[in-house]
Amino acid sequence: MDQVDRLGRQVREALEKTMARHRRIANPERTAGDTPRKTPAERHGLSVLHLEKRKLRREGNAQFHSKKKDNELKPRDLAEMIKQPLTSKEFEVYLNRLAHFAIEYYDNPSAYSVTPDVTPGFLYKNLPKCCPENPDSFDDIYNDIKFKIMPGLTHWQHPNFFAYYPIGRCYPDLLADFITSAFSVIGFSWDSCPALTEMENAMINWVGRALGFPETFLFQDSPPSSQGGGTVTESGSDAILCAVLAARQWKINQIVEEQQRRGGAKYDTIHDIAKRLVVYSSKDAHSCIEKACKLAMLRCRPIQPLEENQWGLTGDQIEEQIKKDLSNGLIPCFINCTLGTTSTASCDKLVSICPVVKKYDTWLHVDAAYAGSTFIESKYREVAEGIENAHTINVNLSKFLLHSATLSIIWTREQKIYKDAFALTPIYLKPSNGKSTRNT
């Protein structure tokens, strides 16, 4: 009988514990005097160090499985590797390893110091003087990246990197770079790659509309004959050089036509005109404007902006310099208006510059390489008031729009004038049907 009573008590105690556990699950609220909940690590008696070790083991297992895939690759002799550096299977395996490497770097931007602790020549002096005559293994190249290249990088994606200007990066951009490299096509004209040219036209319109640019700067129904349009350039510096060269030819043609109309010849040669052309810009503008003037052999007038104007160049300052140049027999040709200087992010006063452009008949270029990306949010477009009067505009997509390459788009409302400045159609660009090719 005693055994039966004891067994009954044990059953009742077990039921009471079970019911109490269910009540705690159904009603998890605790009073102030209750014991705080334990973390999973505390309940299982695990330290932070132990959890870190678990993480490392998981990562090690992932590397093990990656190595296992590598081991599945069939070894190839030197002759085969020289004939075909990578097979499709090797490409797939190695691409997977690089993807994991990129993800790890992407997800841990603080893993490295912002700037490397190295001295000039640290890498150059430790690289072979000649390229290898026999193929290196992928593992050797992979280790060179990790242990030679990575320690010498300045990590622009680090949260503590505040130098120069931001540069974008995102997974869609990495995928786009991959697939375009896989296509390996060149789109210097419509005939060389129709899809690439037409996609570029469409994307230039997409971005232009997203930034709020007037329709006069965009491609219309027939891009080749459209008054407005644009093109992709390697950088903002390239875009500005193209704008300066287009403006130079435009002003020379303008003066030559005026002389022919009047029947006089104030200038004997094109060189006589070109050597008198002047470009105006802020001293805080990117140095590429002065470099463009050197390449185009034009005079450059960097003007000091004033603190009272928030370090932005004004139309009055430019006009003052123009009057001096006119009195010396020079010809105003080009005004560069910077929206977002690299040094201080200041903006020139576009609204006050536009009347000067009209009065002296100059080409107006808006360099919005830095601040232009912010126009995607309409509340930041105030500094761009009057942009419809520009002849050309450029914006870098790598500053705030997550594009990892230093790509720039240049838009123009004078596509024919812009294209004519560079127009050439050599025999190797003419299509087989004999019609003139449509260069991009």
Cα 211 to Cα 234: distance, rounded to the nearest angstrom: 20
**Residue 401's pLDDT is what?**
86
* CB-CB contact of 112 with 88 (8 Å): no
* pLDDT value of residue 73: 87
pLDDT at 231: 95
Looking at domain 62-107+121-152, does it have CATH number 2.30.30? Answer: no
8 A C-beta contact, residue 392 and residue 418: yes
Quote the pLDDT of residue 320: 98
Q: What is the pTM of this model?
A: 0.80
d(CA 279, CA 333): 6
Determine the pLDDT at residue 59.
55
Supply the pLDDT for residue 45. Answer: 45
Residue 49, pLDDT score: 47
What is d(CA 178, CA 324) in angstroms, rounded to the nearest whole number?
53
What is the reported pLDDT for 7? 52
CA 308 to chain centre: 33
The domain ranges of the chain are 62-107+121-152, 195-429
Strand (E) or helix (H) holding 182:
helix 171-183
List average pLDDT for each run of 10 residues in the chain, which is 440 residues long: 57 59 48 44 45 53 53 85 92 96 93 94 93 90 94 94 88 92 90 92 97 97 89 95 98 93 81 96 97 98 97 98 98 98 94 98 98 95 97 93 87 96 84 57
pLDDT at 3: 54
CA distance 3 to 319: 111
Q: Identify the pLDDT of residue 431.
A: 73
**What local confidence, expressed as pLDDT, does residue 41 receive?**
43
HSE-up of residue 1 (Cα within 13 Å, Cβ side) = 0
CB atoms within 10 A of CB 177: 13
Please check whether residue 358 is in contact with residue 327, taking contact to mean a CB–CB distance below 8 angstroms.
Answer: no
**What pLDDT sits at residue 9?**
66
Residue 306: predicted pLDDT: 97
Choose the CATH number for 195-429 among 3.90.226.10, 3.40.640.10, 3.10.129.10, 3.90.470.20: 3.40.640.10
What is the rounded CA–CA span in Å between residue 199 and residue 193? 10
d(CA 397, CA 223): 22
Q: Which residues pair with 279 in a beta bridge?
A: 300, 334
**What interhelical angle do 48-72 and 88-107 show, nearest 10?**
160
Q: Give the Cβ contact number of residue 154 at 10 Å.
A: 13
8 Å CB contact between 320 and 298: no
Q: Are 366 and 334 in contact (CB under 8 A)?
A: no
Sheet containing strand 299-303, strands side by side? 229-233, 408-412, 392-396, 363-367, 331-338, 277-282, 299-303
